Amino acid sequence: MFINETIIVPRYNETDQMGVIYHSNYFVWYEVGRTDFLEKFSMSYRDMEEMGVMLPVIEVNCKYKVSAKYADKLIIKTAIENLTPVRIKFNYIIERETDNVLISEGFTEHVFSSTLNGKPINLKKKYPDLFNLLEKSK
């Protein structure tokens, strides 16, 4: 299984009044991890879109374990949990680099859809090379 690691350092504007990272930023970081995963393992989002494939989110989840704070060096670990011809599900673990404390874990699930009409597509049939490449990461 391929697990991509992306380093991120939270900025001051990502904190809330209590000095911790505001909860919605985790979903942005999941996207950062997913984008980096695809870039390193298969192809960029831009390349996929140019092929005619989009990945709209159909479900998202985040469990907060410990608060991250401004300037904590964080590791986003991203992996594919499930892949079907029509859907893909990514798992994320965010840890603080200095002590490997689990900050959050979650997932995003996406449907493969056409850039032309936004309708779901069967990636295995329409783009078998891309599907096979993604399948190798599991």
CA distance 92 to 111: 18
36 is catalytic: no
CA distance 81 to 88: 8
Cβ neighbours of residue 17 closer than 8 Å, sequence gap 6 or more: none
Q: Which two tokens stand for residue 95?
A: 């840890």
Secondary structure of residue 48 in the 3-state scheme = helix
Of 16, 47, 72, 99, which is the active-site residue? Answer: 16
State the catalytic residues: 16
